[in-house]
Structure 1
């Protein structure tokens, strides 16, 4: 099933990209406090889920589906309420 394999790889790549964006967002790109903030730890659940999603484990995919709406909501809220680099990072995170 090459189509399903492509979707699995795309899902794993997008999850890894979202985790990387979340870490960079809070540490370097647009941190809440100069020098970075502890909010970078919000990427840890994504990093922990990545191996299971990459191996197409059902439980990991279920947990990802439970967690991803929170990341989307944060991106939408911060995208509309902040400006500059903060809003750009938020919109990118929500789009992923």
Structure 2
């Protein structure tokens, strides 16, 4: 793994785990929500757990599909910035961490996938065989 790819992996993992910690603190330590603990756990914490194992293992495919989950938090942060001025700190933090995680996951998946020879074959290359 090149230094550049390690940097992308570090960005992806550090911002993803920081986002996980931010969500935990926001949902459970601040007391902002009137929702039940079970609902908050299932709705906000569990989705972030799905790609964690593959990300820790360094799988490019997992980094790529983790972006779909990150978009949920991206949209949540933008919505909260608009509708809840008293929670702008948390929403802004979530937005920054989600954006960094998205960039790190995308760059890692792209570069490590290419280094491993993974990826979709182009249709024109398949037709020439």
Shorter-normalised TM-score: what interval? 0.7 to 0.9
In structure 2, how many angstroms separate the alpha carbons of the residues matched to 1:40 and 1:52?
Answer: 21
Regions of 4+ moved over 4 Å? 34-37
User: Number of matched residues?
Assistant: 95
DSSP-derived class of the 2:85 partner = coil
Task: Compute the TM-score of the two structures, normalised by the length of structure 2.
Answer: 0.64
Rg comparison, structure with higher value: 2
Considering Cα pairs closer than 8 Å and 6+ residues apart, tell me whether 1 or 2 has the greater RCO: 2
Can you give the 5+ residue segments of structure 1 that lack an aligned partner in the other structure?
none
5+ residue gaps, structure 2, are: 98-129
Kindly report the root-mean-square deviation, in angstroms, between the aligned alpha carbons of the 2 structures: 2.1
Matches within 5 A, 1:1-96: 1-33=2-34, 38-41=39-42, 42-84=44-86, 86-96=87-97
